[in-house]
Amino acid sequence: MKKAGIKASEIAGQAMIWMLLLAALFVSSIPFIFMITNSFEEFSYVLPNPPRIFPTRLDFSAYEYIISRSDFPTAVKNSVINTFGTVGFAVFISMLSAYGFARIKFKGREVLFRIYLLTLMVPGFLNIIPQFVVLKSLAIPGFPDGLVGTRPGLMLIYIATGVCGHTFFLRNFFRNLPDALSESALIDGGGHGVIFFRIMLPLSTPAIGTMSIFAIQGMWEEYFTAKVIVGAQESMLTIPLLLQRLNGQHATRWEWVFACSLMALLPIVILFVVFHKKLVVGGLTSGSVKE
């Protein structure tokens, strides 16, 4: 961009852009403003009339209430462990798979990869019934219900369902890395293990980081699988399950729901604000085919 010679029309153009973007931002922010405003209110089960867009007061008692709930620490703890445990395992296993698909020739590779792709197109939560049955039938001593209602059971499903998508994304990334790199390692007598850990891993940090961030966001908000697999276990409560609990069937204390929502949202927003410059946009596109 040229710095010199900013004309009047240029300034007018910029002003126009600002106005349009601010307008768009306002419209897209309404739900957030609404949440924030109403989280400061006290409704005692009745909605205010007229509805409030802008806050009339600054009161954090809804937040205090949520934090002081006895199930809140449980939900936070479980959400953190589930999210990071799942993403850690899923990303590592997928990196290995992706490397195998991208860099090692073996019979049936293309067919297998096509199958992985196909699974991405099928609505995932249809599998929840058979997944539940599989977990239940895993006969492990000390677990009368198999792995239903346990963290390992939930995480196994999370990891497994993440593998196909992650593998797909990382395989493309590994394939686009220059062959010369791994050839030189092969000549030096290094096997695939050496290439993977010494060359591919360091080179693919941007891709892995991007993918992990989107995976963290997805796991953090995961509701459905958790509901089915561990929904009956109070000790396995997660933040999305807690949110749904707060949203009572007939009477809802909306300030609690919004306070809890905003607290659940904050870590994700911080994550994206901190890392947005490092995100590889390909990560966005690969995650979009499936919710």
| Site for other proteins, residues 100 to 139, rule: CB under 8 A | 100-101, 104-107, 109, 112, 115-119, 121-123, 125-127, 129-131, 133-134
Q: Which of 93, 181, 194, 199 binds other proteins (CB under 8 A)?
A: 93
Q: Any contact of residue 48 with other proteins (CB under 8 A)? A: yes
Any bridge partners for residue 143, and if so which? 140
Closer residue to other proteins in complex, CB, 167/236: 167
Rounded distance between C-alpha atoms, residue 239 and residue 223, angstroms: 9
Taking CB under 8 A as the binding criterion, the range among 41-49, 62-70, 75-83, 179-187 that sits at the site for other proteins is 41-49
For the bound state, the minimum distance from the C-beta of residue 207 to other proteins, rounded and expressed in Å, comes to 6
- Phi first, then psi, for residue 105 (nearest 5°) are -90, 130
Sign (positive/negative) of CA torsion 19, 24, 29, 30? positive
Q: Any contact of residue 57 with other proteins (CB under 8 A)? A: no
Rounded distance between C-alpha atoms, residue 241 and residue 34, angstroms: 22
Closer residue to other proteins in complex, CB, 31/141: 31
Kindly determine how many residues on this chain lie close enough to bind other proteins according to the rule CB under 8 A: 103
Residues 271-290: x where in contact with other proteins by CB under 8 A, - otherwise, as a string: -xx--xx--xxxxxxx-xxx
Interface of this chain with other proteins, residues 1 to 40, rule: CB under 8 A = 1, 9, 13-14, 17-18, 20-21, 24-25, 28-32, 34-35, 38
To which residue do tokens 């699974």 refer?
Answer: 119
Closer residue to other proteins in complex, CB, 67/160: 160
- Residue 218 structure tokens: 């997805």
Q: Please list the alpha-helical segments (H only) found in the chain.
A: 8-39, 61-68, 71-103, 109-121, 128-137, 151-176, 179-187, 192-194, 201-203, 205-220, 224-230, 239-246, 254-275, 281-287
Interface of this chain with other proteins, residues 219 to 238, rule: CB under 8 A = 220-221, 223, 228
Q: Any contact of residue 174 with other proteins (CB under 8 A)? A: no
Taking CB under 8 A as the binding criterion, the range among 67-75, 79-87, 172-180, 182-190 that sits at the site for other proteins is 172-180
For the bound state, the minimum distance from the C-beta of residue 261 to other proteins, rounded and expressed in Å, comes to 4
Rounded distance between C-alpha atoms, residue 35 and residue 29, angstroms: 10
143 by DSSP, 3-state: which? strand
Taking CB under 8 A as the binding criterion, the range among 59-67, 68-76, 179-187, 252-260 that sits at the site for other proteins is 252-260
- Residue 141 structure tokens: 């001593």
Q: Any contact of residue 143 with other proteins (CB under 8 A)? A: no
79-95 exposure pattern, b = at least 16 Cβ within 10 A, e = fewer: beebbebbbebbbebbb
Q: Which amino acid is at 124?
A: G
